[in-house]
Amino acid sequence: MNTQPNDLRVYVEDDRTGTTVEALKRALADNLYYIQGKDESFANLYDYYMALAYTVRDRLVHRRIKTAQAYYEKDTKVVYYLSAEFLIGRLLINNLINLGLYEPINQALQESGLSLDSLIEGEEEPGLGNGGLGRLAACFLDSLATLEIPAIGYGIRYEFGIFDQEIRDGWQVERPDNWLRFGNPWEIPRPDYMVEVKFGGHTESYTDASGQYRVRWMPRITVYGTPYDIPIPGYGCNTVNTLRLWAARAGQDFDFHVFNAGDYTQAVAAKTFSENISKVLYPNDHTPQGRELRLQQQYFFVSCSLQDIIRLYLRKHNNFDAFPDKAAIQLNDTHPAIGVAELMRLLLDEHQLEWDYAWDITRRTFAYTNHTLLSEALERWPVSLFGRLLPRHLEIIYAINHEFLMEVRQRYPSDAGKLMRMSLIEEGEEKQVRMAHLACVGSHTVNGVAALHTELVKKELMRDFYELWPQKFQSKTNGITPRRWLLMSNPPLAELITEKIGDRWLKDLDELRKLEAFVDDPQFRARWRQIKHDRKFSFAQYIQRHNGIEVDVNSIFDIQIKRIHEYKRQILNALHVITLYNRIKANPDLEIVPRTVIFGGKAAPGYFMAKMAIKLITSVADVVNNDPDMRGRLKVVFVSNYSVSLGQFAYPAADLSEQISTAGKEASGTGNMKFSLNGALTIGTLDGANVEIREEVGAENFFLFGLTAQEVTDLKMQGYRPIDYYNSNPALKQVIDQLASGFFSPKEPTLFMSIIDSLLNHDEYMLLADYQSYVDCQEQVSQAFRDYENWTRMSILNVARMGKFSSDRTIAEYCREIWNVEPVSIELGTYSQSDAGLKIPKVPELA
C-alpha cells in the first residue's frame, strides 16, 4: 500500500504549490473561500488581495521548508543579521517577481476577471524602519537570498511602524500606523519557538558543584517573545530565507501569580509593561531618544534572537567549540550592541562556560557596522538605567571594560587620556555606557558603509581603536537591490535594458556597462527619453491628485526625498528655490529652464528644526505656486508620507537627484543610488557614497559643488562666521531678509526666526558657506538640461555605470571578507520552477 506521507506530498506539490495558470486559479478560488471565508458575491478587493497573497505564500512556504532542510542537513554557517529596523516595503509584487510567478499569476487573475493593479493597493506597507538604515537591511535580505546565502534577519514586530505623515496647514501631523489592523498574510507565527526575556531585579553569586564562581540573575519581570517569520525569496533561485520578527507578550504564569496574590493593578501593569515593548517604532533617525522603553526593545529582540541562534546551533552540536564557525552575527549599528554582553551572559550563566572561553567565542562571532559620524547619534545609556534594567549585563560590561583597559594600559602605559577616551564607560555627572565601544571591543570586524565614511571612522570617530586594532577595520560601500529599485519600480526601463543587453544584469549589475554601446544611438535615446517622460507624467498625475498642483512634465523634475534632517540640508535647497523666485521676480521675462522642485520626507516628531523645515518648504510653495509672475517656470511641491512605495514611484520620475548633505556627515546614502540607477543626474557634495558614484559615472556626468569634508573641518577650526557670507552676498542676503521679514509667512512674520537665528549665528551644517557654490552649480544643471540630447547621454551613462552599487556586490564582500560564508543551492526535488527567463512586470500605479 502507498503510505500517507507520499500521498500527502503529491497533493502538496500539485494543488498547493503548482505554478500553472490552472493551479493558480484553483488556489485563488480556494483561498478566497476557505481563508477569507467568502464567495464571489460578498468578496471585496481586499479579500481578493488576501486570497492572492495566500496563494503566493503557499509557494513560498514550500521553498522555505526545502531551504531550511538543506541548511539543517548540511549544518552550514549562517549569517544572523540583527537590526532594530527592516524597511522591507510591500511584498506582493516583490515575491511574485522573485519566485518567477508574475506572469502566470497575472494570467490567472485575468482569467478570473481580476486585475493585479487593482489588488496591489490592498497591501499595507510594513513601515518597520525610519529610513536608510532599515531599508539597507531589507536590500541585504534580498541579496542574501538571491546569492543563496544561509541567513536569518532578526528584528522587532512593531505593532505600529513609522507614523503616517499628513500635511495640515503646511505643518507635519503624525498619525499612528496601524498596519496589522487587517492581519498580515506574509507572516507565520511560531509560538513553539517562544523564548523568555528577563528584566530588572538583582544578581546573586554562588559556587557551583565544581567550585566555580557563578552568578544568578533574579529578575523582577519576565516577558515572552514570540517569533513571526516572513519568508524572503531570492530572485531566480529556490532559496527562501527568513526574516524573524519578535513580538512581546506577558508571561501568563507571572500574571496569574500576582493576580492570585491579590494585586490586580500590578498584574495588569506587568502585562502592559510586557506588551508595550514591541508596541511602536521610535520615529527618530540619527537621534536616539535615550528612553527606557527603547533599551527594553533593544535588549528584548537581541536576547530572543541570541537564544534562538543558540537553540539552532545546539541541534547539531553539544559544545560551543564550533559556534563562531557556524554563526556570523552582524550588528546593524549599535542598536543590537547589547548582544555582546547578552551572549556572554548566556554562555557564562546559562551554559556554564568559563569567561576566557566565552569571550573568545563572542569576539569571533560578532561584527559591527557603524552607520554614522554624527556625535548626537552615538548611543549612550545612563549606567543607572542600565543597572536597574539589566543588572547582570552591567556587571559583565564592567568586567569586559576591566580587561579591555588592562590591554590598553599595557600598550600605552601612562596615557590616562587614552583610557578615558576608550573606556566603555563615559565618566561625568551622569555615567554612561558607550554602546559603540562595546560593539567594537566585542567584534572581530568593524566596518564603515562607504570609503570616505570608513576613513573618517578610522581617523576621527574611532581613532584610538583603529590605532590599537588597525586590522579590525574594513569598508563596505552600501548598495541597493536592483530587483526592487529598477525591475519593480521602473518596468519600462527594465524592459528596454533587457531588450538591449539581455536580463543577466538582474543578477550581475555590472552587465549594465553594455548599455554604453547604445549611448549614441538616437533611437535608443528617444526611447530612453520617452520612458523618463512617462514616469514624470505619472508622478505629475499623482501630484495633481494629492497636492492639487499642476506641474509641467517638461520642466526639470528636481527631487529631494529622504528623512528631514539639518545635515541633509533641505533648507539649502529651499534657499535655492527662493533665489530662483527672486530672479524671476526681478526680471519677469527671464528665460530660465522651468523647474519643479519636489520635496518629501518625514521629520522626527520631536525634532523642532526638521518640522520647521517642512513648514518653510510648504510656505515657500504657497507663495511661489500662487504667483502669476512665475508663469509655470517654477513650482514647489511637498509630497506627504514618503515611504518605500512612494520612493518606488518617485525615483524613476526624477531628472535631478539632490544629495546635498554637508561633506563628512552622510555616512553613505542609498537614495543617491536609487536615483542614479533610474537615470537621474546627481547634484551633490563629496559626501558618503556620492564620492564613489561620481568616480563610477565620471566627473563630467555629475554636478559637484561645495566644501570637501577636509575643508569643512578646516573652516570650523579657523572659526566659521556665517554672518560674513550673509553680509557679502546680496542674493543670499535678500533670501534671508525675506524669510526674516515674514515675506513667506505674512500671517506670522516671525515664524522663521528660529531658522534665521540658526543660520546666521551657528550654521552648524554650513549652508551659507556652500550657498553660492550650490546656486552656481544649479545654474550649470539648467544649462545642461537645455541640451537634452546630451542630458540623455549622461542619464544613460549614469545607469550603465551603476553596477558597483548593487547590494549583491556589497553582500558578496561581507560574505568573503567578514562572515566567511558560502552559498548553498536549494533543490526542489521533483518540483521545478516554472520561470524561464525574465518576466517584466507592469508599470506600477500609486493611488
* Chain residues that interact with ligand PLP, rule: CB under 6 A: 87, 131-132, 135, 562-563, 643-644, 647, 669-671, 674
Return the C-alpha cell found at 621: 510653495
Of 67, 445, 670, 792, the active-site residue reads 670
Contact 646, 771 (CB under 8 A): no
- Residues 326 and 376: their CA atoms lie apart, in Å, by 36
Pairing, β 213-218 against β 202-207: antiparallel
CB of 601 to ligand PLP, least distance (A): 8
CB of 560 to ligand PLP, least distance (A): 8
Contact 424, 400 (CB under 8 A): yes
Helix then strand then coil, in percent of the chain rounded to 5, is: 55, 15, 35
CB of 563 to ligand PLP, least distance (A): 6
Judged by beta carbon, residue 88 or residue 245, the one nearer ligand PLP is 88
Of 64, 437, 674, 801, the active-site residue reads 674
Judged by beta carbon, residue 100 or residue 671, the one nearer ligand PLP is 671
Nearest to 568 by CA among 613, 621, 635: 613
Return the C-alpha cell found at 325: 564557525
- Residues 580 and 634: their CA atoms lie apart, in Å, by 8
Return the C-alpha cell found at 523: 533611437
Judged by beta carbon, residue 66 or residue 562, the one nearer ligand PLP is 562
CB of 685 to ligand PLP, least distance (A): 13
Of 562, 569, 665, 801, the active-site residue reads 562
Instruction: Give the three-class secondary structure for 54.
Output: helix
Contact 343, 396 (CB under 8 A): no
Of 271, 393, 453, 563, the active-site residue reads 563
CB of 431 to ligand PLP, least distance (A): 33
Judged by beta carbon, residue 88 or residue 781, the one nearer ligand PLP is 88
Return the C-alpha cell found at 364: 569571533
Residues 6+ apart with CB under 8 A from 681: 655, 656, 657, 701, 702, 703, 781, 784, 791, 794, 795, 798
- Residues 230 and 520: their CA atoms lie apart, in Å, by 45
Judged by beta carbon, residue 482 or residue 647, the one nearer ligand PLP is 647
HSE at residue 401, side-chain half, CA atoms within 13 A, is 21
Judged by beta carbon, residue 442 or residue 671, the one nearer ligand PLP is 671
Judged by beta carbon, residue 339 or residue 601, the one nearer ligand PLP is 601
Return the C-alpha cell found at 326: 557556524
Judged by beta carbon, residue 135 or residue 380, the one nearer ligand PLP is 135
CB of 74 to ligand PLP, least distance (A): 35
Judged by beta carbon, residue 131 or residue 482, the one nearer ligand PLP is 131
The neighbour count for residue 724, using CB atoms within 10 Å, is 11
Judged by beta carbon, residue 647 or residue 679, the one nearer ligand PLP is 647
- Residues 306 and 298: their CA atoms lie apart, in Å, by 12
Return the C-alpha cell found at 791: 542630458
Backbone angles phi, psi at 250, to 5 degrees: -75, 150
Query: Which residue type occupies 70?
Result: A
Judged by beta carbon, residue 297 or residue 478, the one nearer ligand PLP is 478
CB of 706 to ligand PLP, least distance (A): 17
CB of 556 to ligand PLP, least distance (A): 19
- Residues 730 and 751: their CA atoms lie apart, in Å, by 23
- Residues 548 and 151: their CA atoms lie apart, in Å, by 45
Residue ranges in 678-787 assigned as alpha helix (H)? 690-697, 709-718, 722-728, 730-741, 753-761, 767-786
472 a catalytic residue? no
Instruction: Give the three-class secondary structure for 158.
Output: coil
HSE at residue 476, side-chain half, CA atoms within 13 A, is 29
Taking each helix axis from N to C end, the angle separating 570-586 and 767-786, rounded to the nearest 10 degrees, works out to 60
Judged by beta carbon, residue 670 or residue 685, the one nearer ligand PLP is 670
CB of 669 to ligand PLP, least distance (A): 4
CB of 691 to ligand PLP, least distance (A): 14
What one-character-per-residue DSSP string does 261-299 give? TT-HHHHHHHHHHHHHTTTB----SS-----HHHHHHHH
CB of 648 to ligand PLP, least distance (A): 8
CB of 561 to ligand PLP, least distance (A): 7
Q: Which residues pair with 217 in a beta bridge?
A: 203
Contact 844, 649 (CB under 8 A): yes
563 a catalytic residue? yes
CB of 132 to ligand PLP, least distance (A): 3
Residues 6+ apart with CB under 8 A from 361: 320, 323, 324, 343, 347, 353
C-alpha dist (Å) from residue 328 to 320, 323, 478, 546, 673: 14, 9, 19, 45, 27
Residue in the shown chain whose Cβ atom is closest to ligand PLP: 671
Judged by beta carbon, residue 63 or residue 286, the one nearer ligand PLP is 286
562 a catalytic residue? yes
- Residues 553 and 752: their CA atoms lie apart, in Å, by 32
674 a catalytic residue? yes
- Residues 800 and 788: their CA atoms lie apart, in Å, by 18
Instruction: Give the three-class secondary structure for 167.
Output: strand
Of 371, 476, 615, 633, the active-site residue reads 371
List active site positions: 371, 562-563, 568, 670, 674
